């Protein structure tokens, strides 16, 4: 059933990190009811639900939150929920009459999860932004890239998903545990700028300890070191090495056939250009798959650089069942793994209103209450 089985989450339609949070909670067994906008999404994405992986596991009901009846219906839904997920700009839910003070008065044990980029307060709180902007403000974006080149956005993984949706899922889970002890709910203010900063916590310590400098591409973990790098192979593909520790580095040198070469010491920074040249030349002598064979069973911290599609068929990922198929889409399986109450993809992404009536019944609404909600504008099938 999943470790969160029995918990009811009310999620208001949003983009990016909000749905990612809802997916994580649904994967772990929470009953997530998605409150969709009526008709096509007003979010400007024009996306089809069948391949919108982050929407998996939910049931849906539609509701116009700008109508009086819509607000009343949302209040009734929140009264049955253990937690909510909302990703509007600060103040929007308050103006709708659905802010935390109102909902916590209706449901004192409610965990009110708020997902924003800049946070609920601060000078930038009311401004628009995207992942690239949030991680730019935290120092993370500046640190990613090669020496002498512009910063490189790491997709939208750091702000939206790691520092956003995953942070909110953690916050909601923490809030639910505390509410079980205290009988009181609270607001979870999950900001991507906070989450991205938190993900970079290690570098605060390294910077203070003078183990990191702020010149991009000049450190061990940012491609400054030739033994923590990607290299092109004979067939135009790439491999990655992370041979930081001495014994792993020695294995790397052995597997590359460079043991008898007069190479500079591993940590001699002046010798790094020579090491990089030697590694580059060597890796171009074989294809990616040939190098995989050379490094089979090795502790040199080697891996092929795979595409998303290739990753699904790698033997390790196949053995671990890291990917699964739901509907028409091959996708990552729920994680982390639990020995006794494993997570599971329970439903494909719902069309607007799909499964809503069934969800209302499961949430404890009577037929009369369901009819009343429908009169207030709640749409479901």
Active site residue ranges = 130, 160
Decide: 20 and 161 in contact? Cβ < 8 Å.
yes
Decide: 223 and 161 in contact? Cβ < 8 Å.
no
> What contacts 293, CB < 8 A, 6 or more positions away?
none
Separation CA 240–CA 34 (nearest Å): 40
Query: Could you give the maximum distance between any two Cα atoms of the chain, in Å?
Result: 83
183 by Cβ neighbours in 10 Å (0-12 / 13-18 / 19+) ranks as exposed
Q: Is the peptide bond preceding residue 278 cis, with omega within 30 degrees of 0? A: no
Separation CA 115–CA 9 (nearest Å): 14
Residue 321's CB: how many other CB atoms inside 10 A? 9
DSSP string, 67-115: SHHHHHHHHHHHHH-SEEEE-PPTTHHHHHT-SHHHHHHH-TT-EEEEE
Separation CA 344–CA 28 (nearest Å): 7
Separation CA 32–CA 55 (nearest Å): 10
Separation CA 359–CA 366 (nearest Å): 12
23 alpha-carbon distance from chain centroid:
10
Among left, alpha and beta (phi > 0; psi -120 to 50; other), residue 377 is left
């Amino acid at each position: 059933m999943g470790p969160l089985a029995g918990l009811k989450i009310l999620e208001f339609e949003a983009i990016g990190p909000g749905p990612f949070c809802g997916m994580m909670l649904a994967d772990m067994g929470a009953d997530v009811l998605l409150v969709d906008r009526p008709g096509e999404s007003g979010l400007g994405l024009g996306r089809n639900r069948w391949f919108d992986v982050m929407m998996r596991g939910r049931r849906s009901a539609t509701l116009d939150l700008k109508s009086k009846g819509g607000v009343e219906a949302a209040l009734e839904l929140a009264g049955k929920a253990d937690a909510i997920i909302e990703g509007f700009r600060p103040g929007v839910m308050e103006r709708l009459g659905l802010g935390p003070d109102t909902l916590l008065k209706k449901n004192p044990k409610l965990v009110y999860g708020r997902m924003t980029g800049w946070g609920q307060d601060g000078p930038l709180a009311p401004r628009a932004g995207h992942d690239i902007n949030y991680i730019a403000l935290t120092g993370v974006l500046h640190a990613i890239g090669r020496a002498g080149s512009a910063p490189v956005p790491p997709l939208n993984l750091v702000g939206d998903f790691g520092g956003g949706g995953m942070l909110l899922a953690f916050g909601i889970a923490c809030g639910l545990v505390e509410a079980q002890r205290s009988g009181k709910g609270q607001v979870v203010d999950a900001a991507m700028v906070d989450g991205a900063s938190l993900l970079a916590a290690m570098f605060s310590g390294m910077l203070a300890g003078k183990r990191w400098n702020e010149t991009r591409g000049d450190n061990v973990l940012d491609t400054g070191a030739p033994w923590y790098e990607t290299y092109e192979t004979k067939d135009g593909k790439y491999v990655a090495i992370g041979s930081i520790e001495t014994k792993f580095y020695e294995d790397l040198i052995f597997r590359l056939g460079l043991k008898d070469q007069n190479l500079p010491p591993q940590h001699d920074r002046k010798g790094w250009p020579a090491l990089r040249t030697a590694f580059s030349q060597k890796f171009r002598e074989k294809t990616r798959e040939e190098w995989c064979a050379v490094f089979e069973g090795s502790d040199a911290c080697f891996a092929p650089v795979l595409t998303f599609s290739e990753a699904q068929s790698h033997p390790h990922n196949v053995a671990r069942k890291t990917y699964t198929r739901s509907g028409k889409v091959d996708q990552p399986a729920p994680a982390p793994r639990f020995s006794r109450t494993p997570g599971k993809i329970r439903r494909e992404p719902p069309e607007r209103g799909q499964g809503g009536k069934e969800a209302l019944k499961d949430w404890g609404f009577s037929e009369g209450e369901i009819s009343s909600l429908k009169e207030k504008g709640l749409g479901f099938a």
